[in-house]
Amino acid sequence: MRISLDKAELDIDLIHAFLSGAYWSVGIPRHIVERAIRGSLCVGAYEPDEAGKDEQVGFARLISDQATFAYLADVFVLPAHRGKGVARAMIQVLHDHPELQGLRRWALFTRDMQTVYAKLGWEIYPHPERLMVRDDPDIYQR
């Protein structure tokens, strides 16, 4: 497996296809995915196919001011490549990124991957009464 921070290597068709069906972004338009990638630090995970050509098998996106806060979003690994440490490797690259050292807080939302993140030092927010969101989950359905 190879991890890259080079946006030029990202397979936008693959990313859009996955995200448009993911529970957190159903129906997201391609132009929104492209805009989100432009404004984020992105990680791609790649495995060689039968011909030896790297194909993308995972993706993660981080939004940050690179001083105090980071929000991890859109982390996915294609089903055939799950359980092999791909997500862990992508997140570790972000954790180790030189421009993200010394951040006070990292955040993410997940419905079902708490155990993956817990192994990397993430924990449930200890003061949920302090956390507020402005949420419009059906925005892509309009």
CATH of the domain at 121: 3.40.630.30
Task: Provide the pLDDT for residue 137.
Answer: 84
Q: Say if 102 falls within a structural domain.
A: yes
Q: Say if 100 falls within a structural domain.
A: yes
The answer, yes or no, to whether residue 49 has pLDDT greater than 80, is yes
Task: Provide the pLDDT for residue 129.
Answer: 93
Q: Say if 140 falls within a structural domain.
A: no
Token code pair at residue 133: 């969101």
Q: How many domains does the chain have?
A: 1
The answer, yes or no, to whether residue 138 has pLDDT greater than 90, is no
Q: Write the pLDDT tens digit of every residue in 56-94.
A: 999 999 999 999 999 999 999 999 999 999 999 999 999
Contact status, residue 45 vs residue 1, Cβ threshold 8 Å: yes
Q: Say if 136 falls within a structural domain.
A: no
Domain containing residue 58: 2-126
**Overall average pLDDT of the 42-51 stretch:** 95
Task: Name the band, by pLDDT with cuts 50, 70 and 90, for residue 1.
Answer: very high
Record the pTM. 0.93
